[in-house]
Amino acid sequence: MVTYIIVSIASGFLFGVMDGVIHANPLAQKLYQVYKPIAREKINPQAGFIIDLSYGFVMAGVFLLLYQSFPGAIGLLKGISYALIIWFFRVVMYNASQWMMFKIPVKTILYSIFAGLVEMLILGVLYGLTLQPGI
């Protein structure tokens, strides 16, 4: 239980840091100009922190619940499998919907898909290396 709490907090923190890097870098700022007309002028960092921390707990918990179902003999492979599943459902499907509904440049969609893959793989590796049911 202690490991779960520590890893959940760490992954929530990582979510926040990676989201900042992914969305605030100069390339992303240029690609995301398409969202400027509907984007908030200011963000609420406290709400963002709470949301990212919550994501960390939920994602770590789901990984533990489904651990035995993931392919792979070792935790690292299970973590990568989990990352790819989460990436598909969280990132790919969202971006496909965005592309279908809005006039968003393909390069912006591809950046989001690739950045999301990197983010999910980092988290999946963290979970795979640190979390196992019953430990």
Q: Is the pLDDT of residue 134 over 90?
A: no
Spatial distance between the Cα atoms of 37 and 46, rounded to a whole number of angstroms: 24
Q: 34: which residues sit within 8 A by CB, 6+ positions away?
A: 102, 103, 104, 105, 108
Query: For the segment 55-92, what is each residue's pLDDT rounded down to a tens digit?
Result: 999 999 999 999 999 998 899 999 999 999 999 999 99
Question: Residue 135: what pLDDT?
Answer: 63
For the entire predicted model, the pTM comes to: 0.88
Question: Residue 76: what pLDDT?
Answer: 95
Tell me 25's DSSP state. S
Average pLDDT, the chain: 93
C-alpha pair distances (Å), 22 with each of 92, 109, 127: 16, 13, 21
C-alpha pair distances (Å), 87 with each of 33, 37, 41, 44, 133: 24, 27, 28, 25, 22
Query: For the segment 11-35, what is each residue's pLDDT rounded down to a tens digit?
Result: 999 989 998 899 889 999 999 999 9
Residue 95 belongs to what H/E stretch? helix 93-101
Question: Residue 24: what pLDDT?
Answer: 86
Residue % of the chain over a pLDDT of 70: 99
